[in-house]
Structure 1
Amino acid sequence: MTNRPDHGDEQWPEEWTRDLQRLDQALGEGRSPSVEEFQMLAAHTQRRQRRRMKYELMLFVLTALLIVGGILMAALAVPAVLILIHVIGMLAGVTVLASSKELRTAGKKGFHE
């Protein structure tokens, strides 16, 4: 083992510096955009976002109308099924209310368990 420095270690920073300079020359210095260009970009982005939000709202409304329309058409085609579903729902609600002591006494004053 010798104490003399390795020549490869001395050349590495120089080669790296040369490579970085060559890369800087190849890419060149780009100018930074002006304030007006930033404002135009912001305005363009806002317009694009508004357009996208309108599109999503229209898609939501059309989907909701399709679902509601389908349910109404099914209800009109077979009204007995719709009436049966409502009757079952009301009976279930009355049954839960009648069987639950907590729900019946929830509104009474002075009730403490």
Structure 2
Amino acid sequence: MVKGPEHEDEKWIEGLNQEMKRVDQLFEDAPSPSLEGLHALAVHTLERKRKRMKYELLLFLLVALFIVGGGLMAALAAPMILLFIHGFGMVAGISVLVFSKSLRSAGKKGIR
């Protein structure tokens, strides 16, 4: 007489083998793309990438043009306010460098 657990293991392994064979049969029928199809896909992908890069460059240039144009219009409309903002920024930067201990000692890491 065959023992229960070993017989169940054999049934399980046999069922697993049948399922694996069924999966193998399913994937054997799947057509693989031809070389021409892969080449056409690669060409199409490169063309889409090239068009997207051109679009992004055009968008970047337009945004940069609007930003620079806005800055120039502000400089022409109120030059004293623009000079005040630049001067205040320079003074603030210099004061941060002078009064910040960690920034002043950043170059002296090796010296104790």
Q: Structure 1 length as normaliser, TM-score?
A: 0.64
**Secondary structure at the counterpart of residue 6 of structure 1:** helix
Q: CA deviation at 1:42?
A: 0.9
Distance 2:83 2:26 in 1: 77
Structure 2, gaps ≥5 residues long: 95-112
**Secondary structure at the counterpart of residue 12 of structure 1:** helix
Alpha-carbon RMSD across the aligned residues, in angstroms, is 2.7
Amino acid at match of 1:82: L
Q: CA deviation at 1:46?
A: 0.7
Structure 1, gaps ≥5 residues long: 96-113
Distance 2:26 2:39 in 1: 30
Matching residue of 1:55? 55
Identity of aligned residues (%): 50
**Secondary structure at the counterpart of residue 33 of structure 1:** coil
Q: Structure 2 length as normaliser, TM-score?
A: 0.64
Which structure's residues are more often helix, by fraction? 2
Give aligned pairs, total: 90
Larger Rg: 1
